[in-house]
Amino acid sequence: MSRDEGGALFVPEGGNWLPTDSARGPWTPDALHGGPVAALVARAAELCEPAAGDMKVARITLELLRPVPVAPLEVEASVVRPGRKVQLVDVRVSSGGVDLAWGRALRIRRLESQEAVPGELAARRDDVELAPPRPESGMTTEPLVQGYRAFHNSGAELRFVRGEFGSKGPATVWVRLAVGVVPGEEPSPVQRVAAAADFGNGVSSVLDFEHWTFINPDLSVFLERPPVGEWICLEAATRLGEPGIAIAECAIWDLGGRIGRSVQSLLVEPRRERQLRQERTTG
C-alpha cells in the first residue's frame, strides 16, 4: 500500500523505496508512471561513487522491463565503466527479486576552460530566437485520466503553451515537479528532466486514449549542458511507424535555453486487445 508522506514520489521503507500515490501512472493505478521511475534512476546514478573532477550526466537511458508495481523497490547502482573522461553507471530497480527496470547513465568530463567553443555563441542566439513561451503564459488542462491520485495530476504541474491533453498532434508543455523525489531532499535538475521527459508520448498523442494504448518500454534523455531551475519544457511530437510501433521525440528546454532531447519507443495497440491479453494472463 502506498503512502503520501513528506510530499514525495517515494518514501523509505526498510532500506527500499515505497512509491506514493503521486507516482502512479495513467494506464492503471496499480503501476507507476515512467517519470518517477526515471527520476529515481537518475538520483541513484548521480549519487553513485561521485567522480573526481567535473563530471556531468550527458545521457540517461531507462529500460522498463515490466510494469513497475506500487510496492517496495530496491535500487542498486554501480560504475561499470570507470574513467577520468567518460563513465557509465548502471542502475537496477527490482522488487521481490524480480528486475523491473534497468537504467544507464553516461557521465562526461566538462572542460575546465571557460572559453566558448566554436558555434556555441550562435547556438545561444538560436535559443533566444526559438525559445518557447515561458511557463507563466501557459495553461493547465484537465488530465484524461482522473479518479485517483497519480503523477500526472498530483505529482507534477503541467502548463501547456501549445496543445493540451486529449488534443492530437504535437504539443509544447512546461513541467515542474509538485513534490520531491524522496522526502527532505531537493530534486536535482537532472532528476527533474528525467521525470518530465516521460510525458512526451502522453502530451503529443496522435491516437484516441479511450481506444488505444501507446506505452513506452524505454526512455532516453540526452543533455548537451546541465539543466537549471524547476521548470522543464518539452516540445513533443509522436510519429506512427509500422503497425504497433511509434516514436515520441522531444526537444527539451529550461528557462535558460535548449538543453537536449529525449526519445521514447512506443508499443501501440488497441485497448481491447491489451485487456484481453491481460485477462488471459491473470485468468
DSSP 224: S
Q: Within 13 Å, how many C-alpha atoms sit on residue 165's CB side?
A: 17
The CA distance from 115 to 213, in Å, is: 48
- Residues of the chain under the 50 pLDDT cut: 1-3
Locate all alpha helices (DSSP H) within 68-136, ordered by sequence.
120-130
User: What's the chain's length in residues?
Assistant: 283
CATH number for the domain whose boundaries are 10-110+119-282: 2.40.160.210
pLDDT given for residue 236 in this prediction: 97
Locate all alpha helices (DSSP H) within 161-213, ordered by sequence.
189-197, 200-203
- Alpha-carbon distance values, 281 to 65, 274, 275, 277, 278 (Å): 17, 11, 10, 6, 5
pLDDT given for residue 274 in this prediction: 57
pLDDT given for residue 46 in this prediction: 93
pLDDT given for residue 47 in this prediction: 92
pLDDT given for residue 2 in this prediction: 47
> Any residues with CB less than 8 A from the CB of 162 and at least 6 apart, and which?
132, 170, 171, 172, 173
- Backbone torsion region of residue 6, taken as left when φ is above 0, otherwise alpha when ψ lies between -120 and 50, otherwise beta: left
Q: What is the dihedral of CA 237, 30, 101, 178, to 10 degrees?
A: 60
**Pairing assessment for the beta strands 74-81 and 98-109 based on DSSP bridges:** unpaired
pLDDT given for residue 204 in this prediction: 94
Question: Of 189, 196, 187, 198, whose CA–CA distance to 7 is shortest?
Answer: 187
**73 membership: H or E segment, kind and range:** none
255 contacts 174 by C-beta, under 8 angstroms: no
Whole-structure pTM value: 0.88
Give me the amino acid identity at 11: V
The domain segmentation of the chain, as residue ranges, is 10-110+119-282
pLDDT given for residue 1 in this prediction: 41
Query: In the numeric block, which cell numbers belong to residue 78?
Result: 554501480
Structural Rg of the chain based on CA atoms: 19
Query: In the numeric block, which cell numbers belong to residue 121?
Result: 555563441
